[in-house]
Amino acid sequence: MTRRLFFGVAGMGFLAPTAALPASRRSARSSNQQSPAWQHGLSLFGDLKYPAGFPHFEYVNPSAPKGGTVRQAAFGTYDNFNLVVAGWKGKLAVGLDLIYERLLMPSMDEPSAEYGLLAQAVTHPEDFSWVTYRLHPRARWHDGQPVTADDVIFSFDVFKKNNPQLSAYYRRVIKAEATGEREIKFTFDSPKNRELPQIVGQLTILPKHWWQANEPRRDIAATTLESPLGSGPYRIKDFEPGRTITFEQVENYWGKDLNVRIGRDNFAELRFEYFRDFTVEFEAFKADQFD
């Protein structure tokens, strides 16, 4: 046997185990890589505390009474209801997070764990190179229109384009695309980053059809005091620009029976009154003008 022939045979020996891998095992490995399991939430540290289908968070009272008004103070002023330009144009009104929702909702009794809100399920591969969210089929805007994959992609694009802070926050997300009627896939610039799936889940979702309905279309890159359309448990009831703003419960809120919402959002109204002087604010508190 020549030296060349010997090394050729030896090389084939090293390759043999791979070549001899049964087709069924190769198929299973490929299937596992392409189709990771769907989950009801994500945790940065270990397993989730709450299993799929849990009734409600342990720290809430599912039988809490509902109704009444809570009066709160806010300092300063406001002239804007547009979240997209918050922090660099105008002064955003307090409480707008009450009317909007995100794909995931954080749990308050475990570290860095979040569960599906607008998203019914989430999946990602072991290397965290992408994440796909599946929207809840019942998710609705306050006008009755369904929350769609187009809304999610629109929200990601406008925040990344028009908000410097969020543009940096989402800089490692290189693509957002619809992969199904209610599924949105986010692709990252590199694998092995465990935080990115949850960072995407913190995206506030805006209604594309509302922002693009009028002619001329509403300017997503400008401040506005037009009451916005949301999908959350509250909507704006009334306001005096820069002075007060009141939110009211949405009676037909789509997510009131979700396990992540039960026991929360119990007040019928939330009123915020603005003050520009701490002394005046304290005197107002003493006079029972806010709670």
The architecture CATH gives domain 63-286: 3-Layer(aba) Sandwich (3.40)
Distance of CA 173 to the CA centre of its chain: 15
Q: Which two tokens stand for residue 172?
A: 């490692």
Instruction: Give residue 154's region: left, alpha or beta (phi > 0; psi -120 to 50).
Output: alpha
Looking at residue 217, its pLDDT comes to 84
* pLDDT 10s digits, 182-237: 999 999 999 999 999 999 999 999 999 999 987 778 999 999 999 999 999 999 99
Task: Mention every residue, 6+ apart, whose C-beta is less than 8 A from residue 83.
Answer: 92, 96, 100, 204, 206
Identify which of 262, 234, 261, 258 has the alpha carbon closest to the alpha carbon of residue 248: 234
Distance of CA 278 to the CA centre of its chain: 34
Tell me 120's DSSP state: E
Q: How is 224-249 classified by DSSP, letter by letter?
A: --SPPP--SSEEEEEEETTTEEEEEE
Express the helix, strand and coil content of the chain in percent, nearest 5 each.
25, 25, 50
For strands 69-75 and 269-275, give the pairing: parallel
* pLDDT 10s digits, 79-105: 999 999 999 999 999 999 999 999 999
Q: Which two tokens stand for residue 65?
A: 């009474």
Is the preceding peptide bond at 216 cis, omega within 30 degrees of 0?
yes
Q: Provide the Cα torsion 135, 170, 158, 246; round to 10°.
A: 70
Q: Quickly count: other Cβ atoms within 10 Å of residue 118's Cβ.
A: 26
Looking at residue 34, its pLDDT comes to 61
* 82, 223 Cβ separation under 8 angstroms: yes
Looking at residue 215, its pLDDT comes to 74
Looking at residue 35, its pLDDT comes to 79
Looking at residue 14, its pLDDT comes to 31
Assign 15 to helix, strand or coil: helix
Its sign, for the CA torsion 255, 260, 263, 264, is: negative
pTM: 0.86
Looking at residue 50, its pLDDT comes to 97
The list of the chain residues with pLDDT below 70 reads 1-34
* 162, 70 Cβ separation under 8 angstroms: no
Residue 266's alpha-carbon distances to 1, 54, 84, 159, in angstroms, are 85, 20, 28, 30
